[in-house]
Amino acid sequence: MVPAPRTARLTGGRPLLVAGFGSLLLLMLVAGAYALRTLEQVRTSDLQERNNYLSRGRALDRVRTGIYQSAIVMRDYLLATDAQSSALQIQRFATTREQTDRALAECASLIDSSENAALHDFQSELQYYWKLLAFISEIPPEHRAVRGSEYLSTQVRQHRAELIKMVDQLDAISARQMAASDARMSETFARLRGRLALILAFAVGTGLLLAAFTIWRTLGLERELEQRYQEVLTAQHELKELSARLVSAQEEERRAISRELHDEVGQSLSALLMEAGNAVANVPPDAIHVRQHVDSIKKLAEASVNIIRNMTLLLRPSMLDDFGLVPALEWQAREVSKRTGIRVQVAAADSAGELPDALKTCIYRVVQEALHNCARHAQARTVRVVVRQEDSRIVLFVEDDGRGFDARRVRGLGLVGMEERVHHLGGVFQVSSSPGAGTRVEVELPVAS
């Protein structure tokens, strides 16, 4: 069995291709998911960082405001004329202080732990400032106007200016932290870009390899397909050759058997008849029994001669070889007429008698088959057989007035056989028929001139 390894060869690369394309797809999916996830992370952390920066800025603003505000509150305290408004200012100072501390705590929570030292310094300075301010409330009322104002404009103002400077530093730290975050982000992007480029390069490389392999495989398959197509064509051709050889071998065999039967068996029987007659001539007239036996021998021999004659004609009519196509066709027509009552007209050109043997035989067999069909299926009353020679071709048609059939659907073995014969001689075979409209078999054969 040849086909088995061939099939294996055809499908051999399939698992490799499936695996290759599968992993390529998987790789691209993973790369895509990774890129998406990283981008999402970057976006989220960027947003958060920016929010933090803004919140830090706002908190530091509040701290700055609180520092000024508390100084103003304490100045108002010094200027207060009655106890009630003094108490109110003290209370406002406490509130401001508390708010400012909260704002600083908020800022501390948002600032990177590496900057804790600066923050810590500032916190201590702020606590000291609070103490400075709180000291004002302990100044006796009679000294408030003079010493208080002086204290406020020297000690407090100086310290306040330092504190504000420190807040500005904290702002700078916050901005730096923001810049550092931006730098980290850029770095993440760069890393992502690098990895994606690597994956892409790998994917493209693998893809190219796979494509090359696929092309190689496809070309191989195409070559194989072409080769097999050629094989099929060759096989078909050989089959046709074989069937043609079979047909001609069969024809040759028939001719040989027909001749043998006619020349040997038939002649021997004829001789037997004659010898029987000669034997009787030497028998005395009163030997009636002998004469009777010889008579029945002669009758049997005559019957056998007739059988042989019919057999030889059915196998291959001798006129086809002795006189050519036209007498053979006319004989065939007469036989069909006698046997079936169908009227068969033969119109054949005399030149059709000098055709090569293969052509002669082909036409004769086609007509024989067509007439056979007319008699068996068509219920025809009249059949016309026409053989014409036109330039370098022979045109033959057999048409009947029978019931016809659907030529597009029915294709009996007889028609196929006729077609085979005609095609082998390079001719054209055509059957036209439709129910109720008779049948016409038409053949065109090239004649080598």
CA angle 319, 322, 328 (to 5 degrees): 25
Q: Which stretch binds another protein (CB under 8 A): 30-38, 127-135, 190-198, 301-309?
A: 301-309
Q: Which of 291, 309, 372, 393 binds another protein (CB under 8 A)?
A: 309
Q: Which is nearer to another protein, 294 or 370 (CB)?
A: 294
Q: Which of 76, 101, 125, 330 binds another protein (CB under 8 A)?
A: 330
**Distance in Å, CB of 277 to another protein, minimum:** 3
Is residue 119 within the footprint of another protein (CB under 8 A)?
Answer: no
Whether the Cβ atoms of residue 336 and residue 377 lie closer than 8 Å to each other: no
Whether the Cβ atoms of residue 227 and residue 10 lie closer than 8 Å to each other: no
Local structure of 382: helix, strand or coil: strand
CA angle 311, 312, 315 (to 5 degrees): 85
Compute the distance between CA of residue 113 and CA of residue 177 in angstroms, rounded to an integer.
Answer: 11
Is residue 385 within the footprint of another protein (CB under 8 A)?
Answer: no
Q: Which of 162, 182, 253, 275 binds another protein (CB under 8 A)?
A: 275
Instruction: Tell me the C-alpha to C-alpha distance, in Å, between residue 120 and each of 100, 107, 110, 114.
Output: 15, 12, 14, 11
Whether the Cβ atoms of residue 273 and residue 305 lie closer than 8 Å to each other: yes
Q: Which of 338, 339, 376, 411 binds another protein (CB under 8 A)?
A: 338
Q: Which is nearer to another protein, 34 or 331 (CB)?
A: 331
**Distance in Å, CB of 313 to another protein, minimum:** 8
Q: Which of 132, 276, 352, 418 binds another protein (CB under 8 A)?
A: 276
Compute the distance between CA of residue 263 and CA of residue 143 in angstroms, rounded to an integer.
Answer: 170
Q: Which is nearer to another protein, 173 or 342 (CB)?
A: 342
Is residue 269 within the footprint of another protein (CB under 8 A)?
Answer: yes
**Distance in Å, CB of 303 to another protein, minimum:** 9
Q: Which of 200, 271, 314, 347 binds another protein (CB under 8 A)?
A: 271
Is residue 11 within the footprint of another protein (CB under 8 A)?
Answer: no
Is residue 331 within the footprint of another protein (CB under 8 A)?
Answer: yes
Closest by Cα among 171, 170, 191, 175 to 50: 175
Is residue 448 within the footprint of another protein (CB under 8 A)?
Answer: no
Is residue 204 within the footprint of another protein (CB under 8 A)?
Answer: no
**Distance in Å, CB of 358 to another protein, minimum:** 21
Q: Which of 301, 348, 371, 447 binds another protein (CB under 8 A)?
A: 301
Q: Which is nearer to another protein, 328 or 425 (CB)?
A: 328
Question: H-helix or E-strand containing 264?
Answer: none
Query: What would the two tokens of residue 65 be?
Result: 């405001």
Number of H helices, E strands in the chain: 13, 5
Interface size with another protein, residues (CB under 8 A): 35
**Distance in Å, CB of 253 to another protein, minimum:** 19
For helices 357-373 and 325-340, what crossing angle results, to 10°?
A: 10
Q: How far is CA 344 from the centre of its chain?
A: 59
Q: What DSSP letter does each residue of 318-335 carry, written as one string?
A: HHHHHT-HHHHHHHHHHH
Q: What is the CB neighbour count within 10 angstroms for residue 430?
A: 13
Is residue 384 within the footprint of another protein (CB under 8 A)?
Answer: no
Compute the distance between CA of residue 325 and CA of residue 319 in angstroms, rounded to an integer.
Answer: 8
Q: Which of 305, 325, 375, 394 binds another protein (CB under 8 A)?
A: 305
Region for 426 from its dihedrals, namely left if φ exceeds 0, alpha if ψ lies in -120 to 50, beta otherwise? left
Q: Of residues 244-263, which lie at the interface with another protein (CB under 8 A)?
A: 259, 262-263
Q: Which is nearer to another protein, 137 or 340 (CB)?
A: 340
Q: Which amino acid is located at 177 in the chain? A: Q
Whether the Cβ atoms of residue 326 and residue 302 lie closer than 8 Å to each other: no
* Interface pattern 342-361 for another protein (x via CB under 8 A): -x------------------
Q: Which of 127, 267, 296, 379 binds another protein (CB under 8 A)?
A: 267
Is residue 340 within the footprint of another protein (CB under 8 A)?
Answer: no
Is residue 302 within the footprint of another protein (CB under 8 A)?
Answer: yes
Q: Which stretch binds another protein (CB under 8 A): 149-157, 174-182, 265-273, 346-354?
A: 265-273
Q: Which is nearer to another protein, 133 or 305 (CB)?
A: 305
Compute the distance between CA of residue 65 and CA of residue 428 in angstroms, rounded to an integer.
Answer: 112
Residues 396/401/407/410 CA torsion (nearest 10 deg): -110
For another protein, the binding residues (CB under 8 A) are 259, 262-263, 266-271, 273-278, 281, 301-302, 305-306, 308-309, 313, 318-319, 322-323, 327-328, 330-331, 334, 337-338, 343
